[in-house]
Amino acid sequence: MTDFDPIVLFRRSVAHSPGSPALSVAGSVIGYAELDQLSDRVAAALRTAGAAGARVAFVAHRDGPWSYVVVLGVLKAGGSCVPLHPDGPAERWQLMLERCAVRFGLIDPSRQEDDRNLPTMDGAITWLRMAHDTRPTADTTITAAHADDEAYVMFTSGSTGGPKGVGVSRGNLAAYLGHLLPRYDLRADDRFTQHFALPFDLSMHDMFVCWACGACLCVPPDPGGLRAAAWARTEGITVWFSVPSLAAVMRRARALAPDALPALRYAFFCGEALPWELVNDWHKAAPDARIVNLYGPTEATIAITAFEVDPSDMEASGVVPIGAPIGRDRVAVIPAEGVPEGEGELALSGPQVTSGYINAPEITARAFVALPGHDGLWYRTGDHVRRDANGTLHYVGRIDHQVKILGHRIEPGEVDEALMRLLDGGNAVTVPVMVNGTARLFSYIDVSADVPVLMERLRAELPAPYIPERITILDGLPRNANGKWDRPQLIRMAHDN
C-alpha cells in the first residue's frame, strides 16, 4: 500500500519538482511546494482541534484552490474527506452527515454564504474556520496511514431511505493507483482536466493520478462544457477525463470538428455508457489521443475495468465495451432470470472493492456477498453484462431500475420517495427513458398538483441530476399482472408524449 498511497505519491512529486505547477484554477496557478505548504496548514489545524483521523466535511467548491487543499490536508492528518456538493440542499447535507456520524467540518474562510446552511446537528458537529494565512507552518507532520484507514466518503443513491455512504479506504485508493498508473504513459509535463464535482468519486482520479505524475490539474470555469474544447486548447490539455454526456454536449455545440483537440494524448471516459458514434467524432477531433473507456461503481473505487479503443474499430455500433480488470481485481457474471446464457449481473472482488455502506449493515449484507465457487467477498453491481469469447465485458443495462444521469448513479425510487413526501398521500413512479442516447427521468403521480410548484419544491429536496424532465398527472398509475407498477408502460407513455 505504501508505494501507491496518495499522499506518498504527492510528496514524491513535491520533492522532485517543487516549483512545477500542480493546480490551475480560477486564473491562478499553484506550484507543488505551495500546495504542500497550504495543505500542511490544514493538517496542523485539524490536529490542533483534535480532528486528526476523523471524518471531515467541507462544502466542495471548485472555483478556487480551497477544496483541493482541504482534500490533501485531511489525508495528511490521517482523516477521511466528506465533500458536500455546493448546491446542497442543506437537508441532504444533514442527512449525509448524520448517517456517517461526522463530527468535524472545515469552513472556507472566504465564503460567508455557506455558514447559514451548514448543519449543526444540535451541536454534534464542530465547524472549524481556517484563517486567511498562507505562511508555511512549522508543523509538517504527516499522520501515518494504514491500508484500512478511510480516505473519503462518497454517497450513492438509495432506493429507500435516501443516500448511502461508501467509505473508501487508503488501501482501496492505493490499489487503484497501483493498477492504473503503470498501465498508461502519464507524464510530469501533462495537463489534466478536472471536470468532476468533488462529491463524485471520479474527482479522486483527477487529483491523485495527476499529482502522482507531477503534472498540473486544470479546473475549467464552465462545468457545463459548452466551451470545453476552446478551454482545453487554451490550457494545453493533454489528458482528458469526463462523462460521455459532456462530450455529447460538445458534439451538439459543433466543438468536435476534425483536429479540434490536437494536443490530447489521452481521453478517458467513465460514468455512463460510451457510444461508438461519439468515440468516432472524438477520434476525429483528437486523432493522436488514446481513448479509454473506464468502468467502476463507487463501491469498487473509481474504475475497475478498462477498454482501450483501437482506431480500426471506429465502424462499430452500439456502445464501447467496458473491457477487463485493470489490475488484480476479479469479475464474475452471475446468471440472472430472463437473460441469455453468458449474460448476467456483474460481481466484483479484490483490493479495490470497499467493505460496504457506512452504518447500514442490512443494505451491506444484500450487496456484498459470498458467491458459490468463488472465494472472498463480492460486490453485486446490479449491472447487466455480457462476456464475449475473448473475455471482454460488454455493458447491457441494469438488472434493477437504477440509472446513470450525467455520471451520477440514481435510484428512481429515491425521486419517488421525495415526491411522495410532497403529495400528501399520493403515489409517484419515476422511470428512466432514453432520449437521443441520454437517460432522462420522467415522473408520474396520481393526485392533482401544481406541477411548477411541485418541481420547485423538489429542487429544494434533491440535487439537480435527480430532478425529472417532466411530471405527469394520471387518474391512476398502471399496474402489471403482479400488482406492481407497470414501469414498461410508463416508459412507453413517456416516449409517445
- The 10s digit of each residue's pLDDT in 328-369 is 999 999 997 767 788 899 999 999 999 999 999 999 999 999
With residues binned 3-state (H G I as helix, E B as strand, rest as coil), the percentages for the chain, rounded to 5, are 30, 25, 40
How far CA 288 is from CA of 118, 249, 276, 283, 386, in Å, comes to 46, 21, 17, 8, 30
* 281-286: average pLDDT: 96
Beta bridge partners of 441: 432
Cis status, amide bond into 163, omega within 30 of 0: no
Contact partners, residue 234, CB within 8 Å, separation at least 6 = none
Q: Going from the N-terminus, what domains does the chain have, and what CATH number goes with each?
A: 2-313 (3.40.50.12780), 411-496 (3.30.300.30)
Per-residue pLDDT averaged across 13-28, rounded?
97
What the block records as the C-alpha cell of 83 is 465533500
* Coil vs helix vs strand at 134: coil
Give φ, ψ of 219 to 5 degrees.
-100, 120
Contact 103, 54 (CB under 8 A): yes
Query: Is 126's pLDDT higher than 70?
Result: yes
First to last CA, the chain: 54
Q: What is the mean pLDDT of residues 10-30?
A: 97
The three cell numbers locating residue 443: 415522473
Checking if the pLDDT of 325 tops 80, the result is yes
Integer Cα distance of 294 and 407 in angstroms: 12
Residue 115 in 3-state DSSP?
A: helix
Is 188:9 a contact under the CB 8 Å cutoff? no
Count of C-beta atoms within a 10 Å radius of residue 121: 15
More confident residue, 20 or 247: 20
Q: Given a cut of 60, is residue 1 above it in pLDDT?
A: no
Name residue 290's amino acid: R
Number of helical (H) and strand (E) elements in the chain, helices listed first: 13, 25
Average predicted confidence (pLDDT) for the chain: 91
Report whether pLDDT(467) > 70. yes
Question: Whole-angstrom Cα distance, residue 149 to residue 127?
Answer: 22
Q: Do residues 146 and 172 lie in contact, with contact meaning Cβ atoms separated by under 8 Å?
A: no
pLDDT classification of 46: cutoffs 50, 70, 90 = very high
In tens, the pLDDT along 396-446 reads 877 877 788 878 878 788 898 889 889 877 788 899 988 777 788 999 998
Distance CA(214)–CA(202), nearest Å, equals 19
> Cβ distance 169 to 148 under 8 Å?
yes
Q: Is the pTM of this model over 0.85?
A: yes
What is the reported pLDDT for 420? Answer: 83
β-strand pairing of 470-473 with 438-445: parallel
Q: Is the pLDDT of residue 158 over 70?
A: no
CA distance 197 to 188: 24
CA dist 474 and 115 (Å) reads: 42
Separation between Cα atoms, residue 56 and residue 35, nearest integer Å: 19
- Distance, in Å, from the CA atom of 54 to the CA atom of 30, rounded to the nearest integer, reads 27
What is the average pLDDT across 24-35? 96
Average confidence (pLDDT) over 263-282: 93
State yes or no: pLDDT of 152 exceeds 90: yes
